[in-house]
Amino acid sequence: MSGEKSVILVTGGTGLVGQAIKTVIEEEKQQQKSNNETWIFCGSKEADLRDKAQTEALFEKHKPTHVIHLAAMVGGLFHNMAHNLDFFRENMAINDNVLNASYKHNVKKVVSCLSTCIFPDKTTYPIDETMVHNGPPHTSNYGYSYAKRMIDILNRGYHETHGCTYTSVIPCNVFGPHDNYNLQASHVIPALIRRMDDAMQKGDSTFTVMGSGKPLRQFIYSLDLARLFIWVLRNYNSVEPIVLSVDEEDEVTISTVAEMIKKAHNYPGEIVYDTTKADGQYKKTASNKKLRSLYKDFKFTPFETAIHDTVAWFKQNRDHARL
Ligand code: NDP
């Protein structure tokens, strides 16, 4: 991308990851970097990407040379379990429309977003980029998972048929400012942050975590993921997906996450676990070996710092956060 003028359209630009990319780009602008790049961040108000005509009109308006494609119907375990058909149909429509509009408008590069939670349920660990299609996903989120896997199929097809450089990244669980804190739709970290804030406001002396607290997860801070996304856009030119995750040894249990959130909130009560609720997959450890081989010295924000900053953001912005 260096030297040429580029217009980068970010779909899902109003969401958790999109807003983090915007923050990093604004930081770069203050340091007078990325002069030849014009960044456009779009949400569903600009265009409902399930609709082909609206998608094409968005591309016609902005004429992007590059696309970071984040827009998706996204949700936590319980939301996924209740709406698998919607997750499949909506995400299939969004992805087909965005990639086809990219092709028609001669977009040079598209970086789309898969997720580590779409990998096969029965697998060996650690999971890596070569294993996306190796078996059925966990039944809880099969709609989201199969729709995400089809992005990789589209990328390969556009490359084989038209020579396009459309690729995808595979982040682990993301958290940070601008997350979705709505309890019906949220992932584990925003749900715990919001519910603990509610518990403190009510003066509850115990706080219940759904499930056993034992499952292991890798979490990436949205600002770290944003920096890696921008690096992929500028430097990674393969159609093969690339895992964007913290290191394997940085995997944590849900109970560790809950304790860190308790510390960041300064919550004085006790945490208890409701083991009658589903845990989801016990673990889904992903290997970031490929990322480390290409970008050796990337420094992830320490988990505790990132949780602390996210809780601080939520407390300051609760009134206009997505609740
Ligand atoms: P958010 O829920 O925070 O944001 C979703 C974004 O998609 C919003 O900007 C939303 O726009 C947009 N969007 C949703 N539906 C439509 C639509 N029909 N038309 C146009 N835009 C739409 O998601 P995240 O930032 O968390 O996720 C970004 C990407 O990262 C997704 O592809 C997700 O699958 C992936 N991912 C996320 C992980 C996570 O832990 N959060 C983990 C791994 C991957 P608006 O708000 O304006 O409606």
Q: What pLDDT, on the 0 to 100 scale, is given for residue 283?
A: 83
Per-residue confidence at 321, pLDDT binned at 50, 70, 90? confident
Q: What pLDDT, on the 0 to 100 scale, is given for residue 323?
A: 83
Mutation probe of ligand 1 site: the residue of 49, 51, 70 with most atoms within 8 A of C-beta: 70
Q: Catalytic: which of 142, 144, 166, 181? A: 144
Q: What pLDDT, on the 0 to 100 scale, is given for residue 199?
A: 95
Q: What pLDDT, on the 0 to 100 scale, is given for residue 163?
A: 97
Residue partners of 127: CB distance under 8 A and separation at least 6: 116, 119, 120, 243, 284, 285, 286, 287
**Could you tell me if residue 277 is inside a domain?**
no
Residue 246 sits at the vertex; the CA angle it makes with 244 and 248, to the nearest 5 degrees, is 115
Q: What pLDDT, on the 0 to 100 scale, is given for residue 2?
A: 61
d(CA 158, CA 162): 5
For tokens 């059925």, name the residue: 136
Is the pLDDT at 9 greater than 90? The verdict is yes
d(CA 266, CA 111): 39
Is the pLDDT at 34 greater than 60? The verdict is no
How far does residue 12's CA lie from ligand 1's centre (Å)? 5
**Could you tell me if residue 316 is inside a domain?**
no
Is the pLDDT at 308 greater than 60? The verdict is yes
* Relative orientation angle of helices 303-317 and 254-265, to the nearest 10 degrees: 50
How far does residue 66's CA lie from ligand 1's centre (Å)? 18
Q: What pLDDT, on the 0 to 100 scale, is given for residue 33?
A: 67
For position 227, which CATH number holds?
Answer: 3.40.50.720
**Could you tell me if residue 312 is inside a domain?**
no
**Could you tell me if residue 160 is inside a domain?**
yes
Q: Where are the beta strands (DSSP E) in 195-275?
A: 206-210, 216-217, 219-221, 242-244, 252-253, 270-274
For tokens 């601080």, name the residue: 312
Is the pLDDT at 16 greater than 80? The verdict is yes
Q: What pLDDT, on the 0 to 100 scale, is given for residue 104?
A: 98
**Could you tell me if residue 50 is inside a domain?**
yes
Q: Where are the beta strands (DSSP E) in the chain?
A: 6-11, 37-42, 66-69, 109-113, 165-171, 173-175, 206-210, 216-217, 219-221, 242-244, 252-253, 270-274
**Could you tell me if residue 196 is inside a domain?**
no
Domain that residue 155 falls in: 6-177+218-248+285-301
> Tens digits of per-residue pLDDT, 99-142?
999 999 999 999 999 999 899 999 999 999 999 999 999 988 89
**Could you tell me if residue 13 is inside a domain?**
yes
How far does residue 249's CA lie from ligand 1's centre (Å)? 27
Q: What pLDDT, on the 0 to 100 scale, is given for residue 144?
A: 95
- If one counts the domains in the chain, the total is 1
> Tens digits of per-residue pLDDT, 236-263?
999 999 999 999 999 999 999 999 999 9
d(CA 316, CA 14): 19
The ipTM (two decimal places) reads 0.99
**Could you tell me if residue 268 is inside a domain?**
no
> Does the C-beta of 190 come closer than 6 Å to ligand 1?
no
This prediction's pTM: 0.95
> Does the C-beta of 137 come closer than 6 Å to ligand 1?
no
Is the pLDDT at 317 greater than 80? The verdict is yes
